[in-house]
Amino acid sequence: MAKSKILFSLLFLLFTLFELFSSIIVTAEHPPFHRSISPKSLHLDRQKLSHLHFYFHDTVSGPRPTAVRVAQAQMTDKFPTQFGAVAMADDPLTIGPEPESKLIGRAQGIYASASQNDLGLMMVMNFEFSEGKYNGSTLSLLGRNAVFSAVREMPIVGGSGIFRFGRGYAVAKTHLFNTTTLDAIVEYNVYVFHY
């Protein structure tokens, strides 16, 4: 009887020690989940304001469209606003309004008809830049685009690379809209705070 009690106590001790060591090992393996750091340690001590100006080329017609419809509702065609239509775009961004002018990036994302009564697109777009020091940096736009208004403002909700912590707004103005092909060239002015 006493022997088995001792054996049991020994096993219990061993088990407790094992648990203790394994928990020490586990805490030693992982850095803490949360800690406060200074903005300086990420080189975030100086906020900048940038203005970007470019043209967005949305081609839906012809053999090489840059925006394609990927979904729609059964009743989408019953709405003059094409409510429910969803398009995926990979639109070139250029320095001038001419399609052959210098490419500085691409607008990749989704626009969808989100309004039943007037034409209002929901825009979810990442601008990916390829020019100079901006190469590889991105800005994310999320907003409402009332495409038949002369000027539309949409929020810039984030960014990466040069545009980390980016926030600001984009002002879009249609430069050319071809009513036959529905292709559009849109002028963008983007104002963004970043570090």
Ligand X SMILES: *[C@@H]1O[C@H](CO)[C@@H](O)[C@H](O)[C@H]1NC(C)=O
The residue within the footprint of ligand X, chosen from 23, 42, 136, 151 (CB under 6 A), is: 136
The answer to whether residue 178 forms part of the interface with ligand X (CB under 6 A) is yes
Looking at the Cβ atoms of 83 and 127, the one nearer to ligand X is: 127
Looking at the Cβ atoms of 105 and 166, the one nearer to ligand X is: 105
| Adjacent-strand bridge partners of 113 | 121
Nearest distance in Å: CB 159, ligand X? 17
Q: CB atoms < 10 A from the CB of 184, how many? A: 18
The answer to whether residue 100 forms part of the interface with ligand X (CB under 6 A) is no
The dihedral through the CA atoms of 103, 109, 115, 116 has a sign that is positive
Q: Binding segment for ligand X among 75-83, 91-99, 160-168, 174-182 (CB under 6 A)?
A: 174-182
Binders in 102-131 for ligand X, by CB under 6 A: 130
Please state, in angstroms and as integers, the Cα–Cα distance from residue 5 to each residue in 8, 13, 37, 99, 111, following that order.
5, 12, 53, 87, 73
Looking at the Cβ atoms of 53 and 102, the one nearer to ligand X is: 102
The answer to whether residue 98 forms part of the interface with ligand X (CB under 6 A) is no
SS (H, E, C) 95-120: CCCCCCCCEEEEEEEEEEECCCCCCC
Are residues 57 and 87 in contact, defined by beta-carbon separation less than 8 angstroms? no
Which positions touch ligand X (CB under 6 A)? 130, 135-136, 178, 180-181
